[in-house]
Structures are given as C-alpha cells and as structure tokens.
Amino acid sequence: MAWVAWNESYRVGNTLLDSDHRILLDLMAQLYDAMETGQSRDVIGSVVGVLAEYVGHHFRREEAIMKAAGFPDLDRHRTEHHDLERQVVDVRDRYQAGERGVLGQDVVDLLKNWLTEHILVSDNSYKPWVERVDSDGSGPSKMAERGGIQS
C-alpha cells in the first residue's frame, strides 16, 4: 500500500493540531519506509516507540483544545483516541518484546487507515470549534478576533 502524504484536506483549523497531524503522518511514513527498506529491528523499534509516545502526546493536546473549545462530542472522541493509543502501545510493547511479526504490513496499513480516516472524519467534526481556540487552547483565535466565528 502506498503511503499518504499530508495535504490540505487534513487541516482542522488549529495550527498546533495541524502540525501534530503532519508529524503523525510523517512518523507513519518513517515506519513504512523503515520496514520497506529492511532497516534493523532497533531502527524500526525506535520509530514505533516515538510514534507511540507522540500519539499519546497529541491526543492529550487535542482533547485539551476540544475541551477549551466546548466541543460537545469530546467523550466519544476521547474513546476513539483511547482505542488507537491502546493499539499503538500494544504494537510497540509486543515489538520491543521481540515479537517481530506484530508489525506486519496489515498492521501498518490498519494504523495508517485508522489515522487518516480519524483525521478526515472525526477530527474534521470538531473543526468549527477548534478554529475558535488559540493554539495554546486559551481563547478566541485571530479569526474570531477579526469578526469570524465568535466564542
């Protein structure tokens, strides 16, 4: 399966979250490339470790921004995050424990599809709310200050 690069359809209207999504897609691309080019177990394990750590970091940030924005479907979204984070951490732990087969192409494709669908569907559902929040989650965005969406 070919890798997916960042494009504007992944934008959610918040600079930090868009940056996080780019980083997550880049980490998945690094994982894909490391596997395709036969990199060492240590290299692949390192990428999986960073991916698992960044997934958790991103989800906490995204949830804080959604909460600050008053996003009404936060609980459902948090559940989706928990499910993916659990899957990524499980893959990391099993791979680092020596279970090389855990990172087959089907798992990488599953993670890629989950991530891209999550951004395009679930994350885009909060776009009208997070566009109103500054990147630090503290208040109205510049767009709102200029007369756009009001808090």
Residues 85-102 pLDDT 10s: 999 999 999 999 999 888
Domain span at 107 = 14-132
Q: Is residue 68 part of a domain?
A: yes
Q: Is residue 147 part of a domain?
A: no
Least confident of 3-12, 44-53, 116-125, 133-142: 133-142
Residue with tokens 């960042």: 6
Domain count, the chain: 1
Q: What is the CATH number of the domain that holds 53?
A: 1.20.120.50
Q: Is residue 45 part of a domain?
A: yes
Residues 103-120 pLDDT 10s: 887 788 888 888 889 899
Q: At what angle do helices 74-96 and 105-117 cross, to 10 degrees?
A: 160
Q: Is residue 89 part of a domain?
A: yes
Q: Is residue 7 part of a domain?
A: no
78-92 burial by CB neighbour count: b if 16+ within 10 A, else e?
Answer: eebbeeebebbbebb
Q: Is residue 127 part of a domain?
A: yes
